[in-house]
Amino acid sequence: MNPIFVKNKDDTVIEMQGTVDSRSLEDKDECSLNSTSDRGPQIPEQNEATQSEEIAEPKHLMSGVSGIWRKRALFLKFRSRIDKQQQSKDSVFFRDGVRRIDFVLSYTDDRSDERKQERRKEYEANLEKAGLELEMEDKSESDDGKTYFLKIHAPWEVLATYADVLKIKVPFKANDIPNTQDITVQWLFKPFQLPDDVMHPEPDYFTSAFDKEKIDFFLIDNTETLFPPSTRNRIVYYILARCPYHKEGSNDKDKKGIKRLLNNGTYTSAFPLHDCKYWKRARDPNCESERYNLYNHWAQFSRFYKEQPLNLIRKYYGEKIGIYFAWLGFYTKMLLFAAVMGVMCFIYGILTYHENTWSTEICDPEIGGDIIMCPLCDQKCGYWKLNSTCNSSKYSHLFDNMATVFFAIFMGIWVTLFLEFWKRRQARLEYEWDLVDFEEMQQQLQLRPEYENKCTSQRLNRVTQEMEWVLNRTTADFIAKLLLCWTTVVLWHTPGSNLVSNANLVAWGPLVSKVALIIACIIGVIAYRLAVYAAFASIMKESPTNKLQLVGSLITPQLATSVTASCINFVIIMILNFTYERVAIWITDMEIPKTHLEYENNLTRKMFLFQFVNYYSSCFYVAFFKGKFVGYPGNYTYMFGKLRNEECDPGGCLIELTTQLVIVMTGKQVLCNIQEALKPWLWNWWANRKACNHPESLYSRWEQDRDLQNFSQLGLFYEYLEMVIQFGFITLFVASFPLAPLLALLNNIIEIRVDAWKFTTQFRRPVAAKARNIGAWQEILNGVAILSVVTNAFIVAFTSDMIPRLVYFYAYHPGTEPTMQGYINSSLSVYNISEFPEQNLPDDDENPSWFKSSIITTCRYRDYRYPPGHEKQYSHTMHFWHILAAKLAFIIIMEHVVFVVKFFVAWLIPDVPSDVKARIKRERYLIQEYLHNYEVEKLKVQLSQSHNQNNPNSTTPEAVVIEKREVFSDYM
């Protein structure tokens, strides 16, 4: 039983003697304790004056009744008002049930901090001057009893004014171009499509930028529904970001915007509201319940095979989030083709598993068992037999075979098709979502408030011929740019004209130091590999792992070193990731980019540079450096003067690159998915748990959304970054692991639904933002695609053993018929054990029991050098130079073939579909024609009105207006 509280005129709260059973309140919320009715604001709530009258009114009714009936009468009188409060608590409308809540600000009132109170007072007064309407929720109504909520509504006049400023497009004519889509095959895709009652297909219109002075030019049925909630909250946030909080006449120009007020603690949060609970449809018919539809038809994993409701995503979250999910869905679909081809190549490796001659020779006790190999490290490594690498050489064939070359070429073409077809898809979305020419408008209109605050002078814009605010440029800035040129070359990023002071030179210092830190960590991992290999070799000299079931025979010193080093490197990668964001944001803030687009692009380039070095450096080391600068017995090369460089197995380093790729790529994807789902869920669970501790309060819509996770300014940045890093793994090193696209495909199917679940259930509704494309990520993808051709060509040539085998097969085979017999013996050189320097010889107790120094006088090593006793002993043979020439020739041929095909495909596929081009041209033509006719008709009306004033007997102005409307309706 809960007591009833009533407010007096002086805002004091009195407790009524009567009580109400909380079980009678309808619609329990997710806490199962707080009543949150979804019936919406169907009955307007009474104002304070009316409420106080109700308090006074029952006195004459209670004069002749007992005390208990007086309590009962008073309770019944206030029951309707309490119900109205309950109805409005889970609503997206003001208390009047008419005005929609477009934005919510919250703060905890600190009576001792007068500065914050003064800021809020001035800021809210300026918001009202800007035309916004405000409504306050007292802290006594909040679940914690100390948080105020300021609800903001933008009336039509404000929406129209800023829609004109922001050039928001509005329909002016129905699309008259017939749809050319082939409907004969649409039934094939029916199982993958969502029903129309979910997709809500809307009529296709030609649109034009809104003009407040030409409001009757557009198709407007209802001003209240013309702009969807996502557009409304974008307009309101535009005002909030530029509204000052200083007094009139003050020189504090930088005291502006909700962002600064959030940073200094004046407000604790600012967010638009979700339209309903995600698990239950809103009862108010004026609420769209789009969140409910998105949760049921998009965020459920059981819908993984269904198309995404992109138009609904765009309508609810805005174009920027919509374009991300469109790109992610398209990327996932294209991965299906790469995954199928990769599986086919892997199956080819399985089918030819027992047919590779070189593995057979390695495993043969009479061939591999008789070949004694030189120690792989100094002192702690003994001599070993070649057949100890039997299993690794066999498994290496699964990925290192003829299909590897084909798959590397295929992926070079696939990545081009992916990027070109995405450009076409993106162009179609740009048109359908009214984003054509949006970038130019954003550059001109949506300057960052931080940039505007730093501007101190004006100059004439040669394009617009208007005065614009600019930053002062000094000679020191120019010198700073010159000093940073080397940084620009190394970091692939051009600071451009955004350097405004010598402080920027200091700001780029952490960027260089951060990359240096990553490189230092990689060198540390390499040093670990070199140092720990000797320990593993000493421990495993008698193959104790053979006693382990299943995997024991697979564990070798090389594999143990590679796996542990990969795991350590992965842990370092995850640790360093936590520090990147702050450094990159700090540097970008110091540059003071002009627009939001420039800010995001600059931040994107910096962060990708960090991640590129962080994630790929270990793979580059294994692929292109390990085993390449080893030297030969008696003349080894050392790192740090004492750590001998690593050698590859006789089967090649490709299997180690595969191991590194699988651990880093798979580990990252699994960890990121768990973190993305678990972290916000735990935070929200804790917030809701605390809210449930107040059963007497109503858990309002704004409180529910306040307790959700905030959608940070980086927003989609980490989502894009995760996918682009994955894209790099499946393109840069795919020649070493054909199953990488399959792993990426499975991950992305989960990723789409995890992201959808996060957005609909765990995050506050983000402020809608426009974006015509994926921004700087497009440049990065193009760069990775070009680099992938080079890296895969080098992997096949230098990491794989494909080229040496082909050279032997065609040029050095014994007999008259090409054969691979004797390849292993040909690929190993001979060294005289007696010529080993003292520091290279293994300790006496490190040699295996079968090694007899009196019998075994030579050992073999992986290289092509003349044997001892030859006049050119230990120098490279002609076989080596032939292989090197073949490798270089292969790289040149493969790169040229793939690049020619890439450029031909890119030229063959237009970036913009022909029907989209026709629609854009048609729309621009109609805008010019209709605007011309509109101005002509407007001029006719003015002339007619002027004529009527001079000739009263002529047609009345009302008749002229009616005639004008009729003519105008013909245009519509």
Q: Structure tokens of 728?
A: 């790099």
Tokens (6 digits) for 872: 């050119």
Tell me the two tokens of residue 874: 């230990």
| 337-349 CB burial, b ≥16 within 10 A, e <16 | ebbebbeebbebb
Cα 717 to its chain centre, rounded Å, is 4
Separation CA 601–CA 227 (nearest Å): 29
Q: Give the tens place of pLDDT for each residue, 79-115.
A: 434 444 444 577 889 988 889 999 999 998 777 778 8
Q: Which residues, in sequence order, are bridge partners of residue 636?
A: 631
Across the beta sheet with 384-385, the strand order is 384-385, 372-373, 858-862, 828-832
What pLDDT was estimated at residue 646? 77
Q: Which of 143-152, 295-304, 466-475 has the lowest mean pLDDT?
A: 466-475
pLDDT band at 61 (very low <50, low <70, confident <90, very high): very low
Partners of residue 373 on adjacent β-strands = 384, 860
Dihedrals φ, ψ of 189, to 5°? -100, 5
Rounded CA-CA distance 379/149 in Å is 73
Q: Which of 713, 694, 664, 388 is nearest to 552 (CA)?
A: 388
Give the pLDDT score at 180: 63
C-alpha to C-alpha distance for 301 and 756, rounded to whole angstroms: 9
Q: Mean pLDDT over residues 883-911, rounded?
A: 91
CA dihedral 560, 561, 562, 567 (to 10 degrees): 90
pLDDT in tens, 158-215: 999 999 888 888 888 888 777 665 555 566 677 777 777 776 677 788 888 888 888 8
User: Per-residue pLDDT tens for 404-436?
Assistant: 889 999 999 999 999 999 999 999 999 889 888
More confident residue, 660 or 452: 660
Label the pairing between strands 643-644 and 638-639: antiparallel
Burial track 866-887 (b if 16+ CB lie within 10 A, e otherwise): bebeeeeebebbebbebbbebb
* pLDDT higher at 535 or 589: 589
Which element (helix H / strand E) includes 643? strand 643-644
Distance, CA of 843 to CA of 837 (rounded, Å): 13
C-alpha span between 230 and 102 (Å, rounded): 9
3 state SS of 225: helix
Distance CA 955, CA 28 (A): 64
What is the pLDDT, as a whole number, of residue 182?
53
The per-residue pLDDT for range 685-694, each reduced to its tens digit, is 877 765 555 4
Eight-class DSSP state of 914: H
Between 489 and 218, where is the model more confident? 218
- SS3 of 18, please? strand
Higher pLDDT, 186 or 507: 186
What does the alpha-carbon distance between residue 80 and residue 42 come to, in Å, rounded to a whole number? Answer: 13
pLDDT tens readout for residues 927-958: 888 888 888 888 888 788 777 776 665 544 44
Tokens of 512: 């260089």
| pLDDT, tens digit (0-9, with 9 covering 90-100), for 595-631 | 777 888 888 888 888 788 878 888 888 888 887 888 8
For helices 557-591 and 509-539, angle between their N-to-C axes, nearest 10 degrees: 170
Query: Which stretch, 198-202, 552-556, 634-638, has highest mean pLDDT?
Result: 634-638
Six-digit token string for 538: 């000493």
Other beta carbons within 10 Å of 327: 21
DSSP-derived 3-state class of residue 283: coil
Which of left, alpha, beta for 415 (phi over 0: left; psi -120 to 50: alpha)? Answer: alpha
- Residues 705, 710, 716, 721: what is their CA dihedral angle, to the nearest 10 degrees? -140
Give the pLDDT of residue 592: 77
- What percent helix, strand, coil does the chain show, rounded to 5? 60, 10, 30
The DSSP-derived string for 467-517 is EEEE----HHHHHHHHHTHHHHHHHT---GGG--STHHHHHTHHHHHHHHH
Provide the 10 A C-beta neighbour count for residue 946. Answer: 10
Beta bridge partners of 244: 256
Q: How many CB atoms lie within 10 A of CB 652?
A: 23
Evaluate if residue 698 carries a pLDDT over 50: yes
pLDDT the model gives residue 959:
39
Q: Residue 127: is its pLDDT beyond 90? A: yes
Element (H, E) at 518: helix 509-539
- Which segment of 575-584, 609-618, 856-865, 894-903 scores lowest on mean pLDDT? 575-584
Q: Which tokens belong to 252?
A: 């504090």
Alpha-carbon gap, residue 365 to 133, rounded angstroms: 88
Return d(Cα 485, Cα 884) in angstroms, integer. Answer: 36
pLDDT digits (tens, 9 = 90+) for 75-88: 334 443 444 444 45
Q: Map residue 837 onto helix, strand or coil.
A: coil
Per-residue pLDDT at 463: 62
Q: What are phi and psi of 602, to 5 degrees?
A: -65, -45
Q: How far apart are CA 603 and CA 581, in angstroms?
A: 9
437-447 mean pLDDT: 58
Q: What percent of the chain has pLDDT over 70?
A: 73
Give dist(CA 821, CA 827) in Å, integer: 12
Of the listed ranges 152-161, 449-458, 506-515, 702-711, the one predicted with least confidence: 506-515
Phi, psi dihedrals of residue 356, rounded to the nearest 5°: -80, 120
Residue type, 742: L
pLDDT score at 517: 64
Q: Is the pLDDT of residue 362 over 60?
A: yes
Contact 231, 768 (CB under 8 A): yes
- Find the helix or strand (DSSP H, E) in which 137 lies: strand 133-137
- Burial pattern 218-230, b for ≥16 Cβ within 10 A else e, equals beeeeeeebbbbb
Indicate the pLDDT class of residue 125, thresholds 50, 70 and 90.
Answer: very high
β 638-639/635-636 pair status:
unpaired
Q: What span, in angstroms and rounded, lies between the C-alpha atoms of 90 and 210?
A: 33
The confidence score (pLDDT) of residue 186 equals: 64
Distance CA 946, CA 941 (A): 8
Residue 902, SS3? Answer: helix
For tokens 């690498």, the residue is 389
Residue found by looking up tokens 């009047």 in the block: 96
Question: What is the pLDDT of the chain when averaged over all its residues?
Answer: 76
- Decide if 764 contacts 711 (C-beta within 8 A): yes
Helices (H), 692-708: 701-706
| Mean pLDDT on 503-521 | 53
Query: Is the pLDDT assigned to residue 484 strictly greater than 80?
Result: no
Residues in the chain: 972
Q: What pLDDT digit, counting tens, does each position of 213-258 carry? A: 888 888 888 888 889 899 999 999 999 988 888 877 666 666 788 8
| Structure token digits, residue 331 | 């990327």
Residue with structure tokens 């198309």?
307
From residue 130, alpha-carbon distances to 113, 133, 356, 514, 750 in Å are 26, 9, 78, 45, 45
Residue 165: its H or E element: helix 156-165
Beta bridge partners of 208: 170
How many other CB atoms are there within 10 angstroms of residue 402's CB atom? 14
Burial degree of 953 (CB within 10 A; 0-12, 13-18, 19+): exposed
pLDDT, mean of residues 572-581 = 71
CA angle 863, 865, 868 (to 5 degrees): 125
pLDDT for residue 174: 83
In terms of Cβ atoms closer than 10 Å to its own Cβ (0-12, 13-18, 19+), residue 971 is: middle
Predicted local confidence at residue 141, as pLDDT = 80
* pLDDT tens digit sequence for 716-745: 888 898 899 999 999 999 888 999 999 999
d(CA 714, CA 269): 16
Residues 6+ apart with CB under 8 A from 324: 716, 719, 720, 774
Q: Given this model, what pLDDT does residue 479 score? A: 53
Q: What pLDDT, on a 0 to 100 scale, did the predictor assign at position 756?
A: 93
Token duo for residue 746:
């499975």
Residue 83: what pLDDT?
A: 45
For residue 928, what are the CA distances in angstroms to 164, 932, 965?
18, 6, 19
